[in-house]
């Protein structure tokens, strides 16, 4: 493995290039690498414009991996950063085909762009779909939460106090989050301590609503 600054090249990447050369793909390999370079530059440029610091760019046998701290990046910006790579490839495919007349480079960029848009977790398309679903779930919950608080507030003629509304809101949020985590987020599992936390919240509902 070779590393210099924020660039890391794994042995798998070097082995893949060597195998491609030994297989007689030396004429196509530079086109593929150029398309991949433009793809990653699209991601890097989008992250830079979004104000996100790139920590590491790793080249492996399965492609490139960008490590960046996107925890505080809004969903729309993170989705755009994720789709920036395939978007660059698709634009270049159009430019090379229509303006330059180079259909080989156009095909390489088109193939790479479309492939990365597939809804597979390890690809840009899967990541963008995951972010879109996460954003949609939060937006869906918020759209119901605000009018529900207004209709339920005792100050506006509803049946619940602000304390009761807050507990109801937390219970609904936790139920929605749990369903989303179990169905879509496979990186973590539901454990006993989570169930204990849910039980505490049920007890909170009991005491808050106790007259």
> Other C-beta atoms within 10 Å of 160: how many?
18
From the candidates 40, 65, 141, 170, which is the catalytic residue?
40
Q: Contact at 8 Å (CB) between 66 and 116? A: no
Q: Contact at 8 Å (CB) between 91 and 103? A: no
Q: What share of the chain is helix, strand, coil (3-state, %, to 5)?
A: 70, 10, 20
Reply yes or no on whether 53 is catalytic.
no
> Other C-beta atoms within 10 Å of 2: how many?
11
> Other C-beta atoms within 10 Å of 162: how many?
11
Distance, CA of 130 to CA of 112 (rounded, Å)? 20
Q: Which two tokens stand for residue 133?
A: 């679903």
Active-site residue set: 40
């Amino acid at each position: 493995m070779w590393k210099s600054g924020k660039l890391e090249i794994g042995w798998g990447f070097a082995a893949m290039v060597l195998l491609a050369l030994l297989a007689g793909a030396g004429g196509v390999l530079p086109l593929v690498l150029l398309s991949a370079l433009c793809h990653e530059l699209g991601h890097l440029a989008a992250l830079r414009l979004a104000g996100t610091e790139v920590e590491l760019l790793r080249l492996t046998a399965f492609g490139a991996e960008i490590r960046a701290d996107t925890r505080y990046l809004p969903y729309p910006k993170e989705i755009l950063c994720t789709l920036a790579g395939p978007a660059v490839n698709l634009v270049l495919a159009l430019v090379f085909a229509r303006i330059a007349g180079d259909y080989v480079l156009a095909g390489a960029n088109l193939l790479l762009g479309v492939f990365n848009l597939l809804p597979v977790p390890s690809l840009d398309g899967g990541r963008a779909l995951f972010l879109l679903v996460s954003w949609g779930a939060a937006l869906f919950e918020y759209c119901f939460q605000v009018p529900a608080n207004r209709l339920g507030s005792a100050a506006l003629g509803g049946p619940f106090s602000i304390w009761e509304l807050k507990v109801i809101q937390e219970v609904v949020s936790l139920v929605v989050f749990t369903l989303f985590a179990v169905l879509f987020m496979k990186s973590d599992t539901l454990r006993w301590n989570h169930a204990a936390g849910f039980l505490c919240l049920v007890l909170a509902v009991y005491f808050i609503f106790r007259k």
